[in-house]
Amino acid sequence: MLKVGPKLKVLIVDDSELNREMLGSMLGNEYEILEAEDGAQAVEILREHVTELSLILLDVQMPHVNGLDVLKHMNQFHWIDVIPVIMISSETAPKFIERAYDLGATDYIARPYNTIIVRRRVANVILSFAKQRQLMEIITQQISKKEKDNRLMLSILSHIVEFRNGESGLHVLHINIITDLLMRQYRLKIGNNKITNEDISLVSMASALHDIGKIAIPEEILNKPGRLTAEEFQIMKGHSMAGAEILMDLPIDRNEPLLKTAYEICRWHHERYDGSGYPDGLKGDAIPLSAQVVALADVYDALTSERCYKSAYSHDTAIKMIFDGQCGAFHPLLLECLRDIGNTLEQVLKSKDTFEVENTIKETSHIAEQLNRYGLGDSEHMLHQRSYEQQHFRFLSDMSSKGSLTKLKFIDKCIYHVRATYVEVDGSPYSLELIDKITEETLLGGHGKEDVIKYITAHNRRLYEDILTGAYNRRYYEEQLRDMCHVSAVAMLDMDDFKAVNDTYGHPVGDLALKQIVSAIKNSVRKTDLVIRLGGDELNVR
């Protein structure tokens, strides 16, 4: 017997009961319909059913909380990233349509509409999001596997060092966990958004290599059960520089973030905040934060773990010894962080299943945060590596916000609905772009193609065209061209003695001169070249 799956849930938001009934009947029995009579009720339903909804049909004009306000709420809580929204309204003013798309609406259908259009576009949008989710799951799995493999290799290498050193096999994992918790608490305490999840992940991963230099230390010193002599301790101190030199001798680009961070940690994780550490006697913030955090994590785990030369101290005893300065001086704010995470730290390290604990404390890792926030698409799926200096397509403006963008763009007589999401793979920035070509069968908002083209053309002209000369304006240069790479040539032009023309003959004559100059330049360059008026008589040709 054929098993029928659960129906997809669609939320219809409209202050008119008649409109809700009409839309519900148009969708037939294929969907489970939820209804909201205003924006406030829609937000409450979203809070309860956000993981269940497949689509929202949203009216624009409603009392109190209108459709655009609902979109703002959805952006605030990132619901817009996982639930597509089709705006349905009799309001056809371009400012409303443009604002809806800016706030993340996937489509806009204007009344009056017919059943076929509504059903087809609802199905297309839901299918588009389903394809996007599938694509993102594949990317997530690939990135997760690669990170898992990287961590495995680092763990194997570190455990080789531990095996020779006679330390617990959990030491590397403990350092990883403590470092992660300290970094997150430090970021929370200073409120600094410059410390990203990628930074935290990088430091915690590189921490696995902090004692790699012990490979170079003689075993009789490394595993001596008693106190080291002054000469032996001097040899033992050499492991920090030995580790740094091992890393620098690797046939790897020294600018690789993981290598640079691991080098900082290897060389300086025995430095102390008051300058009493080794090998370089660095003091205060001259010690990289990565090394300071791992230093504190290393000391705490050394105290609370059994070693060949000592028994394990309790959590409370270890904290007291650290705060009393028995293990050297540390950054005061990091000491506060250690105290703040004390209860959590003790519970985590006592857990029987340390691997599961590691996964638990990393639930907010950068992969989950970035890849769960995606835009959706239908016909073409593209993952492009994108630097902040170059864009592979001129569909979208700046992606430096690292969020999602939805735009309508056109080339010649073709209209494109473009949605892009910033993701990072192995620390490199990418733009996941999904591009829909709008055809006669999928017209936006019930408008004809020519009307949409006219509207977008007029909008772009108002936005980017210099009203006097017809050249592109400074805004176009700032938003679209300034950071572009691979420009063959740039010419900067200005008009000699232009001020004298204005002063002698008046601004109308000066304006006429500007128009004639721009016209002459346009006639002298290729159609693919761009003429921009930066201001006054300053012109840019590229």
Q: What is the pLDDT of residue 311?
A: 84
DSSP 3-state assignment of 415? strand
Q: Is the pLDDT of residue 164 over 50?
A: yes
The span from the CA of 68 to the CA of 74, in Å, is 10
Q: What is the pLDDT of residue 50?
A: 86
- Cβ atoms within 10 Å of 274's Cβ, excluding its own: 13
Q: Is the pLDDT of residue 276 over 90?
A: yes
Lowest mean pLDDT among 76-85, 100-109, 449-458, 485-494: 449-458
Q: What is the pLDDT of residue 381?
A: 39
- Say if residues 228 and 247 touch (Cβ distance below 8 Å): no
Q: What is the pLDDT of residue 403?
A: 58
For 465-542, CATH gives 3.30.70.270
Q: What is the mean predicted confidence (pLDDT) over 73-87?
A: 89
8-113 placed in CATH 3.40.50.2300: yes
Query: What's the farthest any 2 CA atoms get from each other in the chain?
Result: 96
Higher pLDDT among residues 93 and 236, named by residue: 236
Structure confidence by residue, pLDDT tens digits, 112-161: 777 888 888 898 888 888 777 777 777 767 766 766 666 666 666 656 66
Q: What is the pLDDT of residue 303?
A: 92
Whether the CA torsion 317, 322, 325, 326 is positive or negative: it is positive
The span from the CA of 188 to the CA of 202, in Å, is 18
Structure confidence by residue, pLDDT tens digits, 186-234: 998 888 778 888 899 889 888 988 888 888 888 888 878 778 899 999 9
Q: What is the pLDDT of residue 393?
A: 37
Q: What is the pLDDT of residue 369?
A: 42
Q: DSSP strand E in 153-244: where? A: none
For 142-368, CATH gives 1.10.3210.10
Unique residue bearing structure tokens 């924006």: 39
Q: What is the pLDDT of residue 475?
A: 75
Q: What is the mean predicted confidence (pLDDT) over 5-34?
A: 88
Q: Is the pLDDT of residue 378 over 60?
A: no
Lowest mean pLDDT among 317-326, 399-408, 432-441, 489-498: 399-408
Contacts of 10 (CB under 8 A, 6+ apart): 27, 31, 32, 33, 34, 53, 54, 55, 56, 57, 122
pTM: 0.44
The span from the CA of 118 to the CA of 110, in Å, is 10
Structure confidence by residue, pLDDT tens digits, 476-520: 777 666 655 556 677 888 777 777 877 788 878 888 888 888 888
Q: What is the pLDDT of residue 399?
A: 46
Q: What is the pLDDT of residue 166?
A: 55
Q: What is the pLDDT of residue 325?
A: 93
The span from the CA of 425 to the CA of 427, in Å, is 5
Q: Is the pLDDT of residue 287 over 90?
A: yes
Higher pLDDT among residues 66 and 4, named by residue: 66
Q: Is the pLDDT of residue 54 over 70?
A: yes
- Say if residues 334 and 182 touch (Cβ distance below 8 Å): yes
- The percent of the chain in helix, strand and coil, each rounded to the nearest 5, is 50, 15, 35
Per-domain residue ranges of the chain: 8-113, 142-368, 373-463, 465-542
